[in-house]
Structure 1
Amino acid sequence: MRFRNKPWAKDYIAENAFYCIPNPEEHKGKWAALFGNSNPIHIEVGTGKGTFITEMAKANPDINYIGIELFESVIVKALERAVTADIPNVKLLNVDAKKLTEIFEKGEVNQVYLNFSDPWPKGRHEKRRLTYKDFLDLYKTVLVEQGEIHFKTDNRGLFEYSLMSFSSYGLLLKYVSLDLHNSDYEGNIMTEYEEKFSSLGQPIYRCEVKYQD
């Protein structure tokens, strides 16, 4: 996937370190101190342009949100949203999700969101999917006991793969929808991709899974 280069992104990120945290490894085990409270921490892996994470933070001021995005040219859009929203309970990290255990202490995170992740459809790229077992290991390490993953996608193949991956791992399937926008689910906050795909009449798939003891 290619993203348009934004030469100004690096400087803008550096200027807004209150929201986009430099050297996040330094805060491992100390995120509550950074937020200045002991509220639950929810992370979104692959936060994209930040609509979901900022809207969730607005709607739930008693939860701390951290958006994780690998690509500098993408996270800078999320940063612009966070700065404009001027909300204290959202932070952004420009890092690879593979570093989760370097950034968060065991049990420091309460919930994980995976929204419209890259499906990596080719078999040889399976290990890159954010619902692959190696990533499930990472989430389990940083999550509290019986922590949850909430997953949304428009890609049926990825959804079916993820359900099998979750089940094989031993996760409890709490909620599954094959057409979220025509379900009775309440409180859904859409991502940019979700708005685009749902406007075209594509079904949105969603599930909630829980780690078991």
Structure 2
Amino acid sequence: MRLRNKPWAEEKLAAYPQYVIQQPESHKGKWREAFGNDHPIYIEVGTGKGRFITEMAMVNPDINFIGIELAKSVIVSALDRLIEADLPNVKLMNENANDLRNFFAKGDVARVYLNFSDPWPKTRHEKRRLTYETFLQVYEDILPEKGEIHFKTDNQGLFESSLMSLSRYGMLLKFVSLDLHNSDFEGNIMTEYEERFSRKGNRIYRLEAQFR
């Protein structure tokens, strides 16, 4: 889906430093200063329009959340949602997932969420998938020992390739659902894409994996 260009997006993101981290590398190893507490930090890589991370923050006030999104024209919608909710435990970052090591030290992040990531279905593009080995190495470097990745998608091919990638990396699969919305899983918070795809009858896949 082609994104509509929003030339004003960068200026708006800069106008709300209380919500959008402008120089995340300056917080590496000392994120408690950004939030004013030492609560665990969960990040969502590819936060989109911010529904998931905002609603997660509402029901988990003792956890800090950071939504990371590369597309300025998308993350401004997450900013609008956050401005309306006015939550103290959510920040946004307009950054690339490849650069996470520049922003977080080992153990800065307690959990990584990957929700409805771009499936990059062509084999020649598999290295771009957020569950590919090189990305797993990045997550492992910023998570504590036995840190977890929670992943959701409606794309069966991506889910299957992710299961193989995580297994090859040696991760422990703690939870796997091939049909989340028809399972007994409790506390699911949907993303914008999840709601749209599930309305169409698409099956939702979910897993939780832990580094050993």
What range is the shorter-chain TM-score in?
over 0.9
Asked whether 1:181 is paired with 2:194, we answer no
- The residue that corresponds to 1:89 in the other structure is 89
- The residue that corresponds to 1:79 in the other structure is 79
- The residue that corresponds to 1:26 in the other structure is 26
Give TM-score scaled by structure 2 length: 0.99
- The residue that corresponds to 1:203 in the other structure is 203
3-state secondary structure, aligned to 2:83: helix
Count of residues in Structure 1 that have an aligned counterpart in Structure 2: 212
Letter in 1 for 2:138: L
Rounded to whole Å, the distance in 2 between the matches of 1:151 and 1:3 is: 24
Q: State the 4+ residue runs in structure 1 displaced beyond 6 angstroms.
A: none
Asked whether 1:102 is paired with 2:110, we answer no
Shift of 1:30: 1.2
Rounded to whole Å, the distance in 1 between the matches of 2:161 and 2:89 is: 33
Shift of 1:63: 0.2
- The residue that corresponds to 2:69 in the other structure is 69
- The residue that corresponds to 2:166 in the other structure is 166
Over the aligned positions, Cα root-mean-square deviation in angstroms equals: 0.7
Shift of 1:50: 0.3
3-state secondary structure, aligned to 2:146: strand
Asked whether 1:139 is paired with 2:139, we answer yes
Rounded to whole Å, the distance in 2 between the matches of 1:59 and 1:48 is: 19
- The residue that corresponds to 2:122 in the other structure is 122
Shift of 1:2: 2.8
Rounded to whole Å, the distance in 2 between the matches of 1:17 and 1:58 is: 20
Structure 1 unaligned runs (5+)?
A: none
Residues 42-79 of structure 1 deviation map (CA, whole Å, 9 limit, x = unaligned): 00000000000000001100000000000100100001
3-state secondary structure, aligned to 1:109: coil
Shift of 1:31: 0.8
Rounded to whole Å, the distance in 2 between the matches of 1:70 and 1:6 is: 14
Shift of 1:178: 0.4
Structure 2 unaligned runs (5+)?
A: none
Rounded to whole Å, the distance in 2 between the matches of 1:203 and 1:32 is: 38
Letter in 2 for 1:74: V
Shift of 1:105: 0.6
3-state secondary structure, aligned to 1:106: coil
- Aligned-pair identity in percent equals 67
Shift of 1:32: 1.0
Letter in 1 for 2:122: K
Shift of 1:87: 0.3
